[in-house]
């Protein structure tokens, strides 16, 4: 039974909201039950940002994730410190090792260290680090199809950013490679 509860977290400007929206739209495209609950710090950029995403094959009672996340995707150290505790036992912790040197403190979760920023820079656009992390998550869980993410890109970013589809799809693939 599918019931993924994901926390995407980082600072403003890292694309954590976009990551969550992409996952949510991809789930909608596949006729799954989804929720997306954003939370912002008071700053526009550089402040804290996180979102709770649920992708399920049954109705979702509440979009809030507390102490039972199946995965936390953390892009910076404050997010690791804050959200590691919200993972359920045997959950997955995806850590952007480009910006976080600290290791997971729990031994009842599986941690993956993904150098998302370095991979994004190798691709030629440091702004796709979030898609590297999303690609790693999709590879580990298979919660949605990559093709659905391709379709979701247009829903989230629109025609104005259509020229960025290719690099984002490459970032998803590189993220998947990082955890294979």
Task: State the pLDDT at residue 48.
Answer: 78
What's the predicted TM-score (pTM) here?
0.95
Task: State the pLDDT at residue 139.
Answer: 98
pLDDT mean over 35-45: 80
Point out which residues pair with 3 in neighbouring strands: 56
In the structure, what pLDDT confidence band is assigned to residue 43 with cuts at 50, 70 and 90?
low
56 or 43, higher pLDDT: 56
Residue with the two structure tokens 């992390």: 133
Under 8 Å between Cβ of 71 and 7 = yes
Is the pLDDT confidence value at 50 over 80?
A: yes
Per cent of the chain over pLDDT 90 is 89
φ/ψ (deg, to 5) at 68: -140, 25
CA dist., res. 51 & res. 121, Å (int): 25
Is the pLDDT confidence value at 24 over 80?
A: yes
In 3D space, the residue among 16, 139, 24 whose CA is nearest the CA of residue 75 turns out to be: 16
DSSP string, 43-61: SSSSSEEEEEEEEESS--S
């Amino acid at each position: 039974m599918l019931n993924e509860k994901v926390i995407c977290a980082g600072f403003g400007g890292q694309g954590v909201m976009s990551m969550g929206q992409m996952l949510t739209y991809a789930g909608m495209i596949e006729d799954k039950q989804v929720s997306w609950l954003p939370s912002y710090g008071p700053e526009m950029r550089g402040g804290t940002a996180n979102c709770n995403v649920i992708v399920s094959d049954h109705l979702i009672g509440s979009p809030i994730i507390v102490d039972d996340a199946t995965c936390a995707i953390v892009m910076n150290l404050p997010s690791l410190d804050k959200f590691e505790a919200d993972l359920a036992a045997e959950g997955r912790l995806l850590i952007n090792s480009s910006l976080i040197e600290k290791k997971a403190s729990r031994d009842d979760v599986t941690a993956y260290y993904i150098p998302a920023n370095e991979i994004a820079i190798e691709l030629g656009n440091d702004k796709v680090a979030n898609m590297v992390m999303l690609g790693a998550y999709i590879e580990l869980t298979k919660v949605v199809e990559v093709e659905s993410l391709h379709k979701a890109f247009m829903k989230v970013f629109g025609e104005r950013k259509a020229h960025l589809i290719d690099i984002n799809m490459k970032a998803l693939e590189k993220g998947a490679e990082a955890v294979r």
